[in-house]
Amino acid sequence: MSLSVQETRYYKVADHVFSLKANAGLSDDFFEKNADNYAPFSVSACDCLFSMEVVTDAKAPVFVEETRQDEEGQRIVCGITQHGESLFEFYLFDKYVGTLVCSKDYRTSKLFVPSAENTSHLKFAVNNALMVLYAIATAPFDTALFHAAVVNYQDRGYMFLGKSGTGKSTHARLWLKYNEGSTLLNDDNPVVRFYKNADGKGFAKVFGSPWSGKTPCYKNEECMLGGFVLLAQAPFNEISRLRGVQAYAAILPCISGKRWERSIADGLHNTENALAANVPVWYLKCLPDEAAAKLCLKTVAE
């Protein structure tokens, strides 16, 4: 069975609302199969920061490539159409799965998907398109989508940063195992928002999201951000505080966004500056063991 009319659902992540529209012709269980991870974030219809419509049996516009990103079998080709719209092509292990075309202000967009629905491919396209849109549309609002694992300990979030393969998820699991009272908030893509105080300083909160990598952890929860921990593999355990430019440099590579577009880059830069100045940043050289998890906890949370 297919949808006979367009269906729209609304979601709120870190207090930003967006909508996902399924066009007529898609299966009637489209949301159950392709957006089940968004269910904890569901809200009633209301004003949206951005919307995305999924369409099939339609051809995406031609474009000029600007850049591309390849990582772990996933590829995103970024470009611009002849009308100046931003465009993103998604591939999974060299298989084309969809094209996202955005309005110039990123408020509205369409995700063009192949007519022959493959559930795993369609879900991948929907998730990646919404992640791209979220990272871009929220950038001017003191918001950043991170590539990190985050653990909640005593109502404070501690985020583990680093390149793929450095052990972010492993260190999070060590906290869960050896640091009593720890819970996993998100394993891959948490959201951070910075809130300014009247004195010009401020604080940050970290939020769960519908995107959590290989670990299904889709929690609609939030807590104060207690600190960032940049990880590096080493034959010993040692932790030190980063400040100033070093703190900024630790945070910057872990935030998603379209940095070659000035207005978006400026928004991300302002958020990164605020986070580096107001949230502790640590550098942990470590083994994947109990001692590393306990040293980290003792240093950053006690």
- What is the pLDDT averaged over residues 217-239? 98
> Radius of gyration over alpha carbons of the chain, in Å?
20
Higher pLDDT, 48 or 2: 48
Which residue, of 79, 108, 137, is where some domain finishes?
A: 137
Q: Is 214 left (phi over 0), alpha (psi -120 to 50) or beta?
A: alpha
Q: Report the number of distinct structural domains present in the chain.
A: 2
Q: Are residues 83 and 187 in the same domain?
A: no
Looking at per-residue pLDDT, the higher value among 186 and 3 belongs to 186
pTM above 0.75, yes or no: yes
Q: Are residues 125 and 190 located together in one domain of the fold?
A: no
Summarised one tens digit per residue, pLDDT across range 75-108 is: 999 999 999 999 999 999 999 999 999 999 999 9
Q: Where does the pLDDT of residue 117 fall: very low under 50, low under 70, confident under 90, or very high at 90 and above?
A: low
CATH classification of the domain holding 159: 3.90.228.20
Question: Is the pLDDT confidence value at 20 over 70?
Answer: yes
180 is a domain residue? yes
Looking up tokens 């605020």 gives 274
pLDDT of residue 75: 95
Express each pLDDT in 259-291 by its tens digit: 999 999 999 999 999 999 999 999 999 999 999
Average pLDDT over residues 194-204: 88
> Are residue 226 and residue 195 in the same domain, yes or no?
yes
Residues 6+ apart with CB under 8 A from 224: 155, 156, 157, 203, 204, 205, 206
Do both 128 and 167 map to the same domain? no
Cα atoms in the Cβ-side hemisphere of radius 13 Å centred on 242: 22
Nearest to 4 by CA among 31, 24, 23: 24
Indicate whether 172 and 264 sit together in one domain.
yes
Do the domain assignments include residue 162? yes
Write down the pLDDT at residue 302.
Answer: 75
155 with 291, same domain: the answer is yes
In a domain, 1, yes or no: no
Average pLDDT, the chain: 94
Host domain of residue 221: 143-300
Query: Are both 112 and 183 inside the same structural domain?
Result: no
Same domain, 77 and 95: yes
45: how many CB neighbours lie within 10 A of its CB?
Answer: 10
Same domain, 177 and 202: yes
Q: Looking at the structure, do residues 132 and 147 belong to the same domain, yes or no?
A: no
Cα dihedral sign, 23-24-27-28: positive
Q: What are phi and psi of 260, to 5 degrees?
A: -90, 5
φ, ψ dihedrals at 189, nearest 5° = -140, 70
Q: Are residues 241 and 200 in the same domain?
A: yes
